[in-house]
Amino acid sequence: MVRELMVESLQETELSHLFPPQNNIVGSGKMLRARLTLSLCWANKVEQQTALHAAGAVEIIHGASLLHDDVIDGGVLRRNAKTFWKKHGVNGAILLGDLLVFKGLELLVAVNRTDLLKELIALASTVCQSEVEQELLLRGTTGTWAECENIARAKTGALFAFAAIAAAQNVEQANALREAGFVLGTAYQLADDLLDASGDEALSGKTLGKDLERGKTTAETVKKDAPADPVAYIHLLLDRSAQQLVQWPTLHRAWLNALEIIFRPILKKQLATYSK
């Protein structure tokens, strides 16, 4: 249902022909953020339309970030298909990415959730800020592990934070879910850093090796204060994410279930070829 909602949100733009059923931008991929949102919302009895629109919004904005990332990094493969900029040009990819951001926000306007709209605007801004800092301040430097982890938390953790907070029923839950999402997203990004350096491009479905080529500060390139075993540290972060929710047994169980069914298997696959 989330995929259909995402594609439907673009129908009025007359761009639907750019998104065939097997496209690699909207409603494709692992849909991790949407799956997390729906799992938590169902468990916490959040109204269905709100859950679907929040899941669609975060995935559309994630798709926009991928369009821009592929242009910046020069990636030619995304989700086992040619990247959008390789098919339609740099200008088209940038402009479509801009459009997707606002289409994602419109999904929250449609369900009159101004609280979630404010959260998504703030958290998407955090993503952009971290990308700017990584590109303009840290690229080409040796960096520290703390800087690397802060980038991962902001760049990827922020949208996972939104995916989680959509399930909140009160301010206390919102704060805990937001932090849980930040920690989970940090773990996922650190794993993605290692995948970029030592993963299998055919299995990952995207262009790898761009972080080192472009001098980015990542979990693979940083040596100062880095954990002796980055993989073990990533799994520690997964455990830490769940600890944020022990006060609410239903949410805690839903989170642990998402970790075991969705995230740990994916990270295990991503990290299978990594060696320190």
Tens of pLDDT, residues 207-234: 655 565 666 777 777 777 888 899 999 9
Burial grade of 11 (CB within 10 A; 0-12, 13-18, 19 or more): exposed
CA dihedral sign, ordered 181, 182, 188, 189: positive
Tokens of 32: 């991790």
With a pLDDT cut of 70, the percent of the chain lying above it is 86
Angle (nearest 5°) at CA 153 between 174 and 43: 35
Mutual angle of helices 171-198 and 145-155, in 10-degree steps: 120
Q: Residue 120 has what pLDDT?
A: 97
Question: Measured between alpha carbons, how far is residue 177 from residues 37, 61, 98, 184 in Å?
Answer: 11, 20, 28, 10
Q: Residue 203 has what pLDDT?
A: 56
Helix (H, G, I), strand (E, B) or coil at 14: coil
Label residue 74 by pLDDT band (50, 70, 90): confident
Q: Which residues of 163-198 are buried (b: 16+ CB within 10 A; e: fewer)?
A: bbbbbbeeeebbebbbbbbbbbbbbbbbbbbbbbbb
Asked whether the predicted pLDDT for residue 186 surpasses 60, the reply is: yes
Q: Residue 88 has what pLDDT?
A: 82
Asked whether the predicted pLDDT for residue 150 surpasses 60, the reply is: yes
Q: Residue 28 has what pLDDT?
A: 67
pTM greater than 0.85 (yes/no): yes
Alpha carbon distance 64, 67 (integer Å): 5
CA dihedral sign, ordered 90, 139, 201, 98: negative
Q: Residue 133 has what pLDDT?
A: 86
Return the number of other C-beta atoms located less than 10 Å from residue 69's C-beta.
18
Asked whether the predicted pLDDT for residue 15 surpasses 90, the reply is: no
Q: Residue 27 has what pLDDT?
A: 62
Q: Residue 16 has what pLDDT?
A: 66
Return the number of other C-beta atoms located less than 10 Å from residue 42's C-beta.
13
Asked whether the predicted pLDDT for residue 247 surpasses 90, the reply is: yes
Q: Residue 118 has what pLDDT?
A: 97
Alpha carbon distance 246, 24 (integer Å): 36
The conformation of residue 111, written as its DSSP 8-state character, comes to T
Give the pLDDT mean for 175-199. Answer: 90
Label residue 200 by pLDDT band (50, 70, 90): low
Q: Residue 29 has what pLDDT?
A: 77
More confident of the two residues 178 and 76 = 178
Identify the CA nearest to 1 among candidates 38, 33, 30. Answer: 38
Superfamily of domain 2-270: Farnesyl Diphosphate Synthase (1.10.600.10)
Q: Residue 7 has what pLDDT?
A: 76
Q: Residue 152 has what pLDDT?
A: 93
CA dihedral sign, ordered 179, 124, 132, 79: positive
Q: Residue 48 has what pLDDT?
A: 96
pLDDT digits (tens, 9 = 90+) for 115-129: 999 999 999 999 999
